Amino acid sequence: MAKIDCSTAPVRRGSSYPAPHGAPCAARMRQALGDAGGLNDFGVNLLTLPPGIWSSQRHYHSAEDEFVYVLSGEVVLVTDAGEEILRAGDCAAFPKGSANGHHLVNRSAAAAQCLEVGTRAADDVTVYPDIDMMIGPATGWYAHRDGALYPKPPEA
């Protein structure tokens, strides 16, 4: 299968972050287009950010490269260096192992869409430098920096 019908890829809303950290991302939408195409080595997501919504908590990866390309709209890229506006046609890259926390925020009045591409590394540790949170293979779930796990939500 080469062509992917984006309209049939499931839409994931919100995030898996433990409360209260998921609130800024509650209305974000992601479609795992790479999964829909059977890809395993890297992920490709179509990200839709309504006005006021974040892509994620600011974070960085120990073992995963990330790349984002803005398809439509406008987002603010927030990194350790500050903030800059990204518009349709702009892109940004985040090399693995660089402790430069980053995320996108839609501060405009219209929805924005981005293509996210990232490697998938089983040994990756994701660190959220603005909040007391991290996740990696040692914990398998979101943990405080001291290793104590955040409560998992009840199974639905």
Q: Is the peptide bond before 51 cis (omega within 30 degrees of 0)?
A: no
How much of the chain exceeds pLDDT 90, in percent?
92
For residue range 25-76, list pLDDT tens digits in order. 999 999 999 999 999 999 999 999 999 999 999 999 999 999 999 999 999 9
CATH code for the domain defined by 20-135: 2.60.120.10
Amino acid 107 reads R
Amino acid occupying residue 118 = G
pTM summary value: 0.94
Rama region for 7: left / alpha / beta (φ>0; ψ in -120 to 50; rest): alpha
Q: Domain map of the chain by residue range? A: 20-135
